[in-house]
Structure 1
Amino acid sequence: MKDTVMGTLSQRLEENQIQLNQLLGKSTDLVTKELQLDSSTHIALVYIDGLVDTQVLHNSILYSLQEGAIQDQFKDLDPFQKLELLRKRILIAGDLSVTHDFKQFVHQLMSGNVMVLVDGTADALRIGLPGWEDRNVSEPNSQSVVRGPMEGFTENMRTNTALIRRKIKDSQLWLETFQIGKVTQTSVSIMYLTHIASPDLVQEVKSRLGKIDTDSILESGYIEEFIQDKAATPFPTIYNSDRPDTIAAGILEGKVAILVDGTPFVLLVPTFFVSFFQSSEDYYQRSDISTLLRFIRFLSFFITLFAPSFYVAVTTYHQEMIPTSLVISLAAQRESVPFPAFVEALLMELTYEILREAGVRIPKNVGQAISIVGTLVIGQAAVSAGLISSAMVIIVSITAISSFVIPESGMAVAARIIRFALIGLAGFMGLYGILFGVFLIILHLASLRSFGMPYMSPIAPYRSSDLKDSIFRFPWPLLKTRPSNNKIQDLKRQDTSKREGSAYDREK
């Protein structure tokens, strides 16, 4: 920010107005209402049109100031006493505070507050009357569920913090807010439970946020890239969600939530590989169903990764692995195809990715269908023209559908990126290339950290107690402790003394 905003406010109202006009230029949305309350009391209300609730301003604030009875109250008072009288007895609407710093004055003004200047004092009164248009709480779009809460975060941070506090009604749920971005001055908050979250983790989050030095923060994705442990990886190492129940569940496990004003997507740290295959719905239905669904998600992830590359490797280098009747069928299909299987797979995958991206940009009611149905239609036309085989259309279709099973989009994108690399390795080295790729993936995953925590926990390092809620989901009565991979203060989740002698305790 420019040096002109440094320093303190002037005692002269006119000088403050001149400095503010010099700073903001000819901003047509800057509104200044000057009032003469009595012969010696001259004040000005300054605000940005569109950022404050003008209805409350006119019906409450201005109405109170224009009452004739208040003129007698200003007699024999100095300017600062007049400001205090306004704060304590007259201007009772909104959140009130006093500032004397000009930089803070401008920041509060641009944040949707009404600033009151009194001639003769170097202090300003802030009245919190934010009034911009907000999107109502609605069903989240990115992580839909059949059973569970149907409310999602919005672009308003206060709405989002309230949604989390509705879930966790605990006095030890702390909220700390920082201003990041030299130009945008974006509010970034962290929420955590002080008696559960590791103090070292909280301090590390604050440290990484404090090191961000940039002009602008417009979305939580900016924060994610600044604070992640390792940038050179396709795998997401910070979880994001627009579901309050998912974020609240993470906080209850000792994680730290990072909220950014202006976006419905909240970050959660630390996170682990298995977390991206879990859905909030897993905890709202029976454990056997949840476990089965998690297995299906992992299976879909492997299909998304390996199906095209395995087809390329087997049909190009390892035909002896295919049953004779199937080899004959595949050979007949590929008889008129002018491309090798490697090029064929790349063409189909690229076509699907193009259609998928197009599906994001067009209206939502038809977008999802375009990416899948469009691939099938184009694929069938290509088969009829003899450009690709029908088997390849089947493989790509199964791969595309499997990618939608993964609950978190970041992990699905990682699978799509790695899939192309595996197709290339399979085209040059066959199954040996795929095995080499798997070896590199495992090494890479084992090296990843999320805020210092092993990314592959509880598999590597192995923690048997945490496996109860990872690949599997044990029944709630058996989930007596929180995951230990977060290095939290309080591992105990349940008090089992009241349940002694129950069926679950006899199974121990």
Structure 2
Amino acid sequence: MQLKRIVRKKKAELPYTGIDGKPLKDLKFSASRAENLAMLREIFKDIDVLKVREFANRHDSSIQGAIVYFEGLANGETVNENVLYPLMKTPIAPPEGAPLSEILSTVLPMGDISMAKDFEDLVQRVTYGDTAFFIDGVDQIVIIDTKGWQTRSISEPESEKVLRGPREGFTEGLMINLSLIRRRIRSNRLKMKFQSLGDTTHTQACLCYIEGIAKPEMVEEVKRRISTFDMDGLLDVNYLAEFITDSPYSPISTVGITEKPDVVAARLLEGRVAVLLDGTPIVLSAPYLLIESFQSDEDYYVNYLYASISRILRILAFFITISLPAIYVALVTYHQELIPTPLLISISASRQNVPFPTILETFLMLAVFDILRETGIRMPMGVGQALSIVGALVIGQATVEAKIVSAPLLIVIAMTGITGLMVPKLKSSAMIFRAFLLVLSSVLGLYGWIFGMAALLLHLLNVRSFGLPIITPLSKPSWQQLKDLAVRAPWWNMRTRPSFLSRNRVRMGPSPREKSQ
């Protein structure tokens, strides 16, 4: 509720950033270099990384100006060699002799030069690594692209490792990420539209789609939802995802995320829309279907039979990870007659002298497993892996020998944890579903588990992603749309795009077999 109150504040109630009672966008540029510098120094007061360099042209000392940039954001070498040096050493006609834009076109060897609209635009551009340039006698300020901050090199994402296929991953640089997508889709139909989000951070967002493939109404809906974001800061895509999702209270994600350019390119080619943010390697895509959580990008780089078996195993693993503890508790507590006699005797013997009821020891061991997993993730790689393995072995052996938990339960928890790792995209959802089913089973036995599964199914039937049911295409199955669901058909047999994503369905010509006939 506190977040909603903050978001619903009017923009007029946000912290004031103007000068002398005027917003920055209402302040006008002056033809006086001294006045512009005084205004900029007031705007950027108490910011020591702001660099101001005044200069005079060597051939005409009456032409005096200044450049303003942020150290660490702008490339110092570019500023010195391609901005400051030409302005000081190249003969420049007086400002009255020609428009400023014409003068700059013959002096500055830079590819991206534009005029600032107002002081608000200037502040946003300079704080993003650009350099502002102005001279006496001209009431315009030129913005020169000199971005040059340090970025992380392109590497394989830790959360989406593959054995086959591209290993490139997104970085925190927006333009680098866009170039990785453009390199894979070299078409003029790939559209990229920028938007600034966050009243204070002014984070650059980019909407990507392929014209003629993505549905126009889907593109407009994504634009509309993004435009409703009204918050002072945007630091990660999850901020935006929680604003634009159809079901904010559902544990199931309705917005896709990935760190791999090839995955984004594949989704764009199917008719989806992607949203990239500056400062994060994670990319959003919409709409997002439940079946995508069981798909891996590696499925499309290996034999279709192997890919189909892997998908079926992931679906089975998800069912096991959310249901196995609940079924174990239900059988041991309420339905012992359903357990084979030798197995029941073994379970009963192992539970002798265990002080806790089955439901309590199950919750206890699930909590211990999640703690070990989180510890392994947060610690440095080498230490975390060793700690997880040693911790699991030591704690598991010690708890069984001390009769705190039973050995069969330890096997159940181990199977639950291992199968949960097979579906990492549903990790958080699986934890919630598992706890929900476990509570119902501890109260109602197998009837509680059945009731819980029915409730989950009803919930999935009502969850939508940008107006599309997330269980699509199961809601309206067709043979063509089932070719890339629980199993993957051969590439030559998947000739069409899903109709619920694109009206331009045909994506390939006749198959080799059809051509040979």
Look up the match of 2:82.
60
Who is 2:130 aligned against?
113
Partner of 1:137: 154
Contact 2:206–2:276 at 8 Å: present in 1 too? yes
1:495 aligned partner:
509
Distance 1:443 1:15 in 2: 66
Deviation at 1:39, TM superposition (A): 3.4
Aligned equivalent of 1:195: 212
Of 423, 430, 448, 1:415 maps to 430
Distance in 2, matches of 1:496 and 1:345, equals 55
1:325 and 1:357, CA in 2 relative to 1: closer, same or farther beyond 3 A? same
Given the alignment of the two structures, is residue 475 of structure 1 paired with residue 490 of structure 2, yes or no?
Answer: yes
Which whole-Å deviations, capped at 9, do the CAs of 1:30-79 have from their partners, x for residues lacking one?
11110112232111100001101111211222221222xx33x424x418
The share of aligned pairs that are identical, in percent, is: 39
After TM superposition, list the pairs within 5 Å mapping 1:15-164 onto structure 2. Answer: 15-37=35-57, 38-67=60-89, 70-71=90-91, 73-75=92-94, 77-78=95-96, 81=98, 83-164=100-181
Aligned 8 A contact 2:320 2:416 in 1: yes
Residue 25 of structure 2 aligns with which residue?
6
Q: Is the 8 A contact 1:188 1:261 kept in 2?
A: yes
Note if 1:252 corresponds to 2:274.
Answer: no
Structure 1 pair 479–373 and aligned structure 2 pair: CA distance change class (3 A) = farther
Deviates more, 1:98-107 or 1:235-244: 98-107
1:483 touches 1:491 (CA, 8 Å); kept in 2?
yes
Measure how far apart 1:355 and its partner are.
1.5
Give distance in 2, aligned partners of 1:59 and 1:229. Answer: 51
The reply on whether 1:395 has 2:412 as its aligned counterpart is yes
Residue aligned with 1:484, SS: coil
Distance 2:102 2:162 in 1: 53
Q: Which amino acid in the other structure matches residue 415 of structure 1?
A: A
Q: 4+ runs of 1 displaced by more than 4 Å?
A: none
Q: Partner of 2:284 in structure 1?
A: 267
Indicate the RMSD between aligned Cα atoms, in angstroms.
1.5
**Tell me, what secondary structure is at the counterpart of 1:115?**
strand
State the TM-score, normalizing by the size of structure 1: 0.95
Unaligned runs of 5+ in 1: none
| Match in the other structure for 1:344 | 361
Identify the residue that residue 312 of structure 1 maps to in structure 2.
Answer: 329
- Following superposition, the deviation at residue 499 of structure 1 comes to 5.0
Q: What is the SS of the residue equivalent to 1:494?
A: coil
CA contact (8 A) 1:380 1:393 kept: no
- List gaps (5 residues or longer) in structure 2: 1-15
- Residue pair 1:9, 1:100 contacting (<8 A) in 2 also: no
Matched-pair contact (CA < 8 Å) for 2:254–2:470:
yes
Query: 1:485, CA displacement in angstroms?
Result: 2.1
Alignment of 1:371-386 (within 5 A): 371=388, 373-386=390-403
The question of whether the paired residues in 1 share the 8 Å contact of 2:133 and 2:142 is answered with: yes
* Alpha-carbon separation, structure 1, partners of 2:389 and 2:504: 47
CA contact 2:492–2:511 (8 Å) conserved in 1: no
1:303 to 289, 295, 320: 320
- Which secondary structure state, in structure 2, belongs to the residue aligned with residue 3 of structure 1? coil
Q: What letter is aligned with 2:482? A: L
Residue from 437, 444, 452 that aligns with 1:429: 444
Equivalent-residue separation in structure 2 for 1:277 and 1:397 (angstroms): 21
What's the offset of the Cα at 1:82? Answer: 6.2
CA distance in 1 between partners of 2:181 and 2:513 (Å): 29
Letter in 2 for 1:348: M
Do the aligned partners of residues 238 and 149 (structure 1) sit closer, same or farther apart at CA in structure 2, a change above 3 Å counting? same
* Distance in structure 2 (CA, Å) of the matches to 1:187 and 1:417: 34
- Paired residues of 1:356 and 1:370 also in contact (CA < 8 A): no
TM superposition shift of 1:498: 6.5
Once the two structures are TM-superposed, the CA of residue 368 in structure 1 deviates from its matched residue by 4.1
SS at 2:187's partner residue? coil
TM-score, normalised to structure 2's length?
0.93
The one-letter code of the counterpart of 1:284 is Y
Give the deviation of 1:401 after TM superposition.
0.8
Q: Deviations over 1:280-308 (max 9, x none)?
A: 10001111000000001001101111111
Query: Do the aligned partners of 2:56 and 2:88 also contact (CA within 8 Å) in 1?
Result: no
Alignment partners' CA distance in 2, 1:340 and 1:328:
17
Matched, 1:439 2:461: no
Residue type at the aligned position of 1:387 = I
Cα distance in 2 for residues equivalent to 1:372 and 1:433: 34
SS in structure 1 at match of 2:159: coil
Q: 2:96 corresponds to which letter in structure 1? A: D
Deviates more, 1:8-17 or 1:464-473: 8-17
Q: Distance in 1 between matches of 2:133 and 2:417?
A: 58
Match of 1:361 in 2: 378
What's the CA shift for 1:352? 1.0
Q: Distance in 2 between matches of 1:100 and 1:244?
A: 34
Q: Which residue of 2 aligns with 1:230?
A: 247
How far 1:83 moved relative to its partner? Answer: 2.6
Structural mapping, 1:205-220, within 5 Å: 205-220=222-237
Offset of 1:373 from its aligned partner?
A: 4.8
Asked if 1:291 is matched to 2:308, the reply is yes
Match of 2:3 in 1: none
Count of aligned pairs between the two proteins: 495
The Cα shift of 1:141 comes to 1.1
Counterpart in the other structure of 2:9: none
Offset, 1:375: 2.9
